[in-house]
Amino acid sequence: APFYSLHTWDLKLVADYANLSIPEALELPMDIFLLYLRDGFIHHCRKTPAGMEYLENCWYLEQTEPDRKRLRNRYGKEAE
């Protein structure tokens, strides 16, 4: 018998995004399932302004280097 998790929102999201049934989604290799889960979540978020804001905030939190051009435009260039 296939394993059904208590949280099936991820299965539903993958199945809907990949146009599969839930049992077909369960048969996917783990790496493909996780890729569809990521892409499906992003696709779902892009449908609303709040989702777009969430994705933008996630992108900002991933950044490790300052956006020097944006900072200079906002605060002006310091004397060198």
Convert the pLDDT of each residue in 8-35 to its tens digit. 889 999 999 999 999 999 999 999 999 9
The whole-number pLDDT of residue 13 equals 94
Convert the pLDDT of each residue in 43-52 to its tens digit. 999 999 999 9
Q: Are 45 and 54 in contact (CB under 8 A)?
A: yes
Map tokens 């929102």 to a residue: 9
Residue 1 scores a pLDDT above 60: no
Residue 74 binned pLDDT confidence (cut-offs 50, 70, 90): confident
The whole-number pLDDT of residue 80 equals 46
DSSP string of 56-70? Answer: HHHHHHH--S--HHH
